[in-house]
Amino acid sequence: MALARRPVSPDTLRATGWALGVTAVLAVLIVVGSRNLEHFDAALVGYTFAVLFATFGLTYRYAMWLRRPPTGAYWRRGWQAFFRPNRLGRNLGVGAKRVGSEVLANRFIFKRGTLRGVTHLLIMWGCLIAVAITFPLVFGWLYFRPVPGDLALYEAVVFGFPAFRFPHGSIVGFFLFHGLVWSSFLVIAGVMLAMRRRMREEGAAAVQRYAEDFMPLVLLFAVSVTGLMLTASYTWMSGYAYGFIAILHAITVIGTFLWLPFGKFFHVFQRPAQLGVGFYKDAGRGGEPAHCRRCGHAFSSRMHVEDLIEVERQLGYRYEIAPSGDGAAGAEVDHYQWICPPCRRASFVTAQALAWQGRRGGETLPRTAGPLPMPVYANPGPGEGPLGPEDAANFHP
């Protein structure tokens, strides 16, 4: 008996279309940027196909990720907040500042620890430098040639156009021709610090998994070490075992690209979306607040509460609440999200007490008319969790 085939979901078709489109655009750029493959090195075709595969996988996963209701809501609202006409100029400045501090300087990682921030910074910048050098060379977008009539000069050619010249023995040439060496040193240092943390800190060791935490470090270390072995072979060993090392290096690099869409490195492409979340929060702070329908105090932005209710409905969660006599006269609590966190805890305790009294056959707790006061706890728990002003504002002990 033939098995029934499951229909392909619209989200899958849409994500596949995006993945095919982005991969095709990159392939066209490779052909055009290398002047119809004139400057494309056929020996690097394996790297190229690995990058194209990674592009397809990353785009597909990213498109599927954006189809999730919470992510989609943040994505749409973030762009809407950024392109607001009355704040676009300010948002451009704020966005550039956040890219510098949060993405390029990893300030959010340094908040978790200085050594952890240095570790992340070394790995990130080592990889960025390697990508900035390797990808243009592999795709044929960048190559170097001697200047006719002056063999002491080299000329960098970008997309087939002469870009700049420099003496091959200059400091510029030294750093350009050994850029991958410096990036390898940065990555290896970062990997060693990351491995130290995973082996020595009990908190990290308790939750780590090989595929998610050790495998990325192993791949980065293998790529960096085999790349340095290539440099050592042609610099100090007269090319000894260069062919074998080149194959080994190609295996590690291609394996890393093939694994890229499926592992932890995907967060590299997710993280910039956090900038949109920042603009979403800015818009919420400057907009209408949401008032608790039990105590009447403002506790969040109205936009955030309404978006949260809609996302929960899309996910199949329904937390509507029947009208109650508690709260302001005539007010109706139509959803649990309209209750502030302290009142949620108080409502839970009240419900437990009512249930207990009901079992005992006693009277129900007295009810008061009008807004109820926001609960105040005897032990506020200072210093138990907030990392900054935003966390402190959202910390409800």
- 10-residue mean pLDDT profile of the chain (397 residues): values are 68 94 96 91 90 95 93 91 89 92 88 90 94 92 87 87 86 87 95 91 82 89 94 90 92 92 88 88 87 85 91 88 52 75 81 71 49 57 53 55
Query: Pairing relation of β-strands 298-301 and 289-291?
Result: antiparallel
For position 391, what pLDDT does the model report? Answer: 58
> Tokens at residue 139, please?
């795709």
> How far apart, in Å, are the Cα atoms of 18 and each of 149, 217, 270?
48, 30, 17
Q: Single out the residue of 335, 288, 286, 338 nearest to residue 313, CA to CA.
A: 335
Task: Report residue 209 as tokens.
Answer: 């998994």
User: CA torsion sign, 16 to 21 to 26 to 28?
Assistant: positive
Provide the 8-state DSSP code for 2: P
Distance CA 175, CA 181 (A): 9
Quick check: 299 and 290 in contact, CB under 8 A?
yes
Angle between helices 69-82 and 45-66 (to 10 degrees): 90
Q: What is the pLDDT of residue 7?
A: 77
Apex 241 CA angle, 236 and 242, nearest 5: 75
Helix, strand, or coil (residue 224): helix
Identify the pLDDT of residue 387.
Answer: 52
Domain residue spans in the chain?
289-376
- The side-by-side arrangement of strands in the sheet containing 150-158 is 142-147, 150-158, 161-167
Contact 301, 394 (CB under 8 A): no
Number of H helices, E strands in the chain: 16, 5
* Whole-structure pTM value: 0.82
Q: 8: which 2 tokens?
A: 């392909």
Query: Residue 317 CB: number of other CB atoms within 10 A?
Result: 10
Please report the DSSP string for 33-70 in residue order.
HTTTTTT--GGGHHHHHHHHHHHHHHHHHHHHHHTSHH
pLDDT at 180: 92
From the number of C-beta atoms within 10 Å of its C-beta (0-12, 13-18, 19+), residue 139 rates as buried
CA dihedral 54, 9, 17, 269 (to 10 degrees): -40
Cα(367)–Cα(361) distance, integer angstroms:
18
Contact assessment for residue 255 and residue 215, using Cβ atoms and an 8 Å cutoff: no
Q: Are 50 and 253 in contact (CB under 8 A)?
A: yes
With b for 16 or more beta-carbon neighbours within 10 A and e for fewer, the 25-60 pattern comes to: ebeeebeebbeeeebbeeebeebbebbbbbbbbbbb
Tokens 């095709």 belong to 24
Q: What is the DSSP string of 138-178?
A: HHTSEEEEEETTEEEEEEEEETTEEEEEEETTSHHHHHHHT
- 370 phi, psi to nearest 5 deg: 90, 175
Q: Is 274 helix (H, G, I), strand (E, B) or coil?
A: helix
Going from the C-alpha of 120 to that of each of 117, 199, 262, 281, 367, the distances in angstroms are 5, 16, 20, 26, 55
Is the Cα dihedral 159, 164, 167, 172 positive or negative? negative
